[in-house]
Amino acid sequence: MRNSSTGPRTRQPLSESFTKHVNAYALAAGAAGVAVIALGQSAEADIVVTHAHGNVPINKYVSIDLNHDGIPDFRFTISFSGYHFFGGTLRVRPQGAGGLMATAGGYAAVLSQGASIGSGQAFTAGKPIRMARTAGFDYNSVYSRNFFGPWDNVQNRFLGVEFLIGGATHYGWVRVTVSDAHIPMTATVTGYAYETIAGQSIQAGQMIEQASAPVESVPFAKPSLGMLALGSQGLELWRRESLLLSAQYLVANFAAPTSRLFQSKSYIRLAPSQPKETL
């Protein structure tokens, strides 16, 4: 359980261009007769995202380091053997005390965008888990091949992962594309991310924190009796006063969000003489 800060948020200075945009937005919203709202945003957590594009090698392995501390967290490999009869398996193995969301059949679970990854899910730790496997026969004009597992021909789907930082559990995702167009198969890691707050859930594919503060309505000026007595002219004066008040409120109360998106690019370089690579 983490403690949340109860102190006041530090207000950030607003640029002149931003102030102009807020004023223009308030005017446009008022002219359309809609309410203007200010959204609060959580400043407590960050999601660290790494963009990658690395092919999983055959009979070697490639590692990923989610928090870039120099210690691999998960590693991927495609094992392949055979000649006329052949077989291949794509596996992912947690390093240390890491874990992966898995299916009842023993395969790594395929997650769609937005799926929840956190303490409410079951994780398998300490052993390699299959993602996909293939088996077949190829001799002269006779060819037969089967593909097994939920990762057959998926594009940019997600693994749900957990790992430890300083003894505390953190959750994250790894984005993978798998194709069976070639024997035995191809697999590409296209990115990964983790939540920096220990024990806090993350959604598959999530890259920024979700706004968590309640929606707050922007105040509008109330028409005075004098304005009402002026009829249409008074209504115009009231509208202008309301727009000015709402714009001033947005400028005075909007604080630039402190939640950040860390992005780093890391590209795999496969060298025949190297037994492993790190994304």
Tell me the average pLDDT across 8-34: 43
pLDDT at 246 over 60: no
Q: In degrees rounded to 5, what are phi and psi of residue 203?
A: -95, 145
**Confidence (pLDDT) at 82:** 85
Give 51: exposed, middle or buried? Use CB within 10 Å, 0-12, 13-18, 19+. middle
Show me where the domains of the chain are located: 16-43+212-253, 47-208
Winning range, highest mean pLDDT, from 24-28, 32-36, 74-78: 74-78
Tell me the average pLDDT across 40-63: 80
**Confidence (pLDDT) at 155:** 96
pLDDT at 269 over 80: no
Over residues 56-109, the pLDDT tens digits come to 999 999 999 999 999 999 999 999 998 888 899 999 999 988 999 999 889 999
Q: How many CB atoms lie within 10 A of CB 62?
A: 23
Residue 146: closest CA among 92, 79, 85, 60:
85
How far is the C-alpha of 48 from the C-alpha of 68, rounded, in Å? 10
**Confidence (pLDDT) at 45:** 57
251 or 96, which is more confident?
Answer: 96
**Confidence (pLDDT) at 279:** 65
* Average pLDDT value for the chain: 73
**Confidence (pLDDT) at 157:** 98
Tell me the average pLDDT across 112-126: 94
Tell me the average pLDDT across 25-43: 37
**Confidence (pLDDT) at 191:** 96
- Helix (H/G/I), strand (E/B), else coil: 32: helix
Over residues 129-162, the pLDDT tens digits come to 999 999 988 888 887 888 999 999 999 999 999 9
Over residues 176-186, the pLDDT tens digits come to 999 988 888 99
How far is the C-alpha of 217 from the C-alpha of 55, rounded, in Å? 49
Q: How many CB atoms lie within 10 A of CB 265?
A: 9
**Confidence (pLDDT) at 62:** 94
How far is the C-alpha of 245 from the C-alpha of 227, rounded, in Å? 16
Q: pLDDT tier at 198 (50, 70, 90 boundaries)?
A: very high
For residue 111 the two structure tokens come to 């997650």
CB 219 within 8 A of CB 245: yes
Winning range, highest mean pLDDT, from 34-38, 150-154, 232-236: 150-154
Pairing of strands 261-267, 47-55: parallel
